[in-house]
């Protein structure tokens, strides 16, 4: 694995992806944040050695390097998911490459179903912790040069970044929620019984991504910050028919607020 990581990182460095301050992963309906990046280099996933290719509508499939505020970032416009048929090791491979490009922080976003009855569609939820129902991406032989066999997950989401995000959102007058994100395999949306179960075990929102990327980032000692845009509700009495297109539209409607928070927060690192 290390050989492939180094090969891919070397390829991207040869394309000008040098010394980024942070990595950014953009989820369903959230690719518009790219409009705020002063793009210096852009490469299709299909051209990058060892990279998977995104197959989901709303995940364009480009790796972007450029200026975001005062920082240099490398951004994934479209991520990979377990339900696409990739192993968890494959879907987190780009995060490992970002580390070898030099990122010091990882910022992630997703669209999620809200299961906290206090949430509404369009809310922004800062993720404070997670529950993982996906295969762990660290299963298999461990390379101690990359990270420890048993990484600590007591602070999967960086408390200092969460505090800074609180300050930023207050200054921008943007209301944010906080909560626990639960990751499932997908690709089905949840049944009412599943929504109820997930709420009973402590989750505030549910989705099909993010957690494997965070696990691998923490394995490599990268501080993480993640937000969910609540795109639909899994609350008893508020559960309605939902499609991927509806999720994408709801996420896009609140994207400007998420982008504003991310821009100011990345400026502060």
Question: Domains in the chain: how many in total?
Answer: 1
In this predicted model, which residue has the larger pLDDT, 50 or 236? 50
243 class by beta-carbon count within 10 Å (0-12 exposed, 13-18 middle, 19+ buried): exposed
Of 23-32, 157-166, 193-202, 254-263, minimum mean pLDDT range: 23-32
User: What is the reported pLDDT for 29?
Assistant: 62
User: What is the reported pLDDT for 57?
Assistant: 56
- Per-residue pLDDT of 65-84, as tens digits, reads 999 988 999 999 888 999 99
Cβ of 239: how many Cβ atoms within 10 Å?
Answer: 18
| Cβ(78)–Cβ(26) below 8 Å | yes
Provide the token pair at 31: 């690719």
Note if the pTM is more than 0.85. Answer: yes
User: What is the reported pLDDT for 59?
Assistant: 47
User: What is the reported pLDDT for 116?
Assistant: 97
Residue 188: name the closest of 143, 244, 126 by CA.
244
Residue 206 is part of which domain span? Answer: 2-268
Q: What is the CATH number of the domain that holds 181?
A: 3.40.50.1580
Taking residues 213-231, report their average pLDDT: 96
Distance of CA 130 to the CA centre of its chain: 12
Q: Which residues have a Cβ under 8 Å from the Cβ of 233 and sit 6 or more positions away?
A: 113, 114, 115, 119, 120, 121, 239, 240
User: What is the reported pLDDT for 102?
Assistant: 97
Cβ of 70: how many Cβ atoms within 10 Å?
Answer: 11
């Amino acid at each position: 694995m290390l050989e492939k990581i180094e090969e891919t990182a070397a390829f991207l460095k040869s394309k000008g992806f040098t010394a980024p301050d942070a990595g950014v992963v953009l989820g369903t309906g959230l690719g518009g944040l790219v409009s705020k990046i002063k793009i210096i280099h852009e490469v299709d996933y299909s051209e990058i050695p060892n990279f998977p290719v995104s197959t989901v509508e709303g995940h364009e499939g480009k790796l972007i390097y450029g200026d975001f505020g005062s920082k240099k970032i490398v951004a994934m416009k479209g991520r990979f998911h377990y339900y696409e048929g990739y192993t968890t090791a494959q879907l987190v491979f780009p995060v490992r490459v970002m580390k070898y490009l030099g990122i010091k922080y990882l910022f992630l976003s997703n669209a999620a179903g809200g299961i906290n009855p206090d949430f509404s569609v369009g809310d922004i939820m800062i993720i404070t912790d997670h529950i993982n129902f996906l295969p762990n991406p660290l299963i298999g032989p461990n390379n101690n040069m990359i990270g420890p066999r048993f990484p600590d997950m007591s602070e999967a989401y960086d408390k200092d970044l969460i505090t800074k995000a609180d300050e930023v959102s207050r200054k921008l007058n943007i209301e944010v929620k906080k909560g626990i994100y639960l990751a499932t395999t997908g690709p089905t949306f949840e049944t009412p019984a599943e929504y109820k179960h997930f709420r009973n075990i402590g989750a505030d929102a549910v989705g099909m991504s993010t957690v494997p990327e965070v696990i691998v980032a923490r394995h490599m000692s990268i501080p993480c910050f993640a937000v969910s845009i609540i795109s639909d509700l899994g609350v008893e009495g508020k559960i309605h028919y939902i499609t991927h297109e509806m999720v994408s539209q709801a996420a896009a409607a609140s994207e400007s607020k998420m982008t504003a928070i991310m821009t100011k927060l990345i400026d502060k690192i």
